[in-house]
Structure 1
Amino acid sequence: MARPSVATERREQILDATMATIAQHGVHGTTLDRIATATGMSRGHVRHFVGNRDKLLLDTAVAVFAGPSGEVGSILPAGIDDLESALDYLFGPVFASPDRENAVVLGLVELSRSTPDIAEVLTTAYTATRVQLAELVGRAHPDAPRDACATAAYGVLTCALGSVFLGDFDLDPTRMTRTRAAADALLATL
């Protein structure tokens, strides 16, 4: 009887170690050697299971932004179907915490400037989020022009993302409350 493949388990282990390494050392300090050390595997084994560093970073980006279907989509969790829930998530503690995932996303944003495939993953995720937000804004404000809903959605998303990116060094405890108030004020203009 053939042994069961460990490829899926090893791949997940390597992706997790890649995210931990990006969070600790930044994207440019993320090397196959550091990832191999974090997994307890040799560099050759890491390459065997995931390919080269560029492919691994692209796979990491997809893993971060993919939904349950495995496809890259909105950064809003599945099941968000109204504007208030979307706002609660975008300005809530889970999204705003300066954790490993946010450090990884910041590293991927940096890498997207020079890596078109990673830029495409981020563009797909944030475009899907903006489109979903515009639909939710439109449902919450049915008399507002469609273009105004799209603009408001863009403003809400940039408020949320900007506040998250400030979270690593802006320790003001009212930061997210103030940012949510700015998004609410923008939506009140519709």
Structure 2
Amino acid sequence: MKAGMNAQKQTRRTVMKLGMLVLGMSCFAWAMVPLYNLLCEITGLNGKTGGTYTYEPAKEVVDVSRSVQVNFLTNTNGNMPWEFWSEQGGVKVHPGQLHTVNFYVKNTTDRVMVGQAVPSLVPILATDYFHKTECFCFERQVLQPGETMEMPMRFIVDADLPGHVKSLNLSYALFDVSDFAEADLVKSADGKS
């Protein structure tokens, strides 16, 4: 009888420990993005590009004496069934000159989906010199089943980019945010925005 009580007590203790472990992992997962952003802000180690840049042709100085290779990489999160590609693998640009590159997505599913592209630029020191005037990454993209969408991205490599930087790699990761978008719609419909 006593052995049965000890086994039951041991099982209860194990279940409590596992429950605490799951709770701890959930809290860590929830805090991961803010912690990552904080770490990147403190260390300066991130490949995030800035928000919208206002292009003023009169103020831009084009440096025709040099060219910078800008390469484009696209990938989708493992849970994102869309096809995602760029019109060109890369372009040579003169710093200060406005360029447009088209990206494409195709919803290969039979349901409406919402996607969000997250950019990353390397080398990291170039993030202050790469400016987007228009980008599909600024907002979520809603695609109907089977729909293909052209998404322009307009950018300028600042003429002040250090001379030793000869190439940039701009990578976009595309994520399925359909569940989050649905939750946002429900929240705003309830007046809880």
State the TM-score, normalizing by the size of structure 2: 0.27
> Based on CA coordinates, which of the two structures has the bigger radius of gyration?
2
Q: Which of structures 1 and 2 has the larger relative contact order (alpha carbons within 8 angstroms, sep 6+)?
A: 2
- Higher percent of residues as strand: 2
- Higher percent of residues as helix: 1
State the TM-score, normalizing by the size of structure 1: 0.27
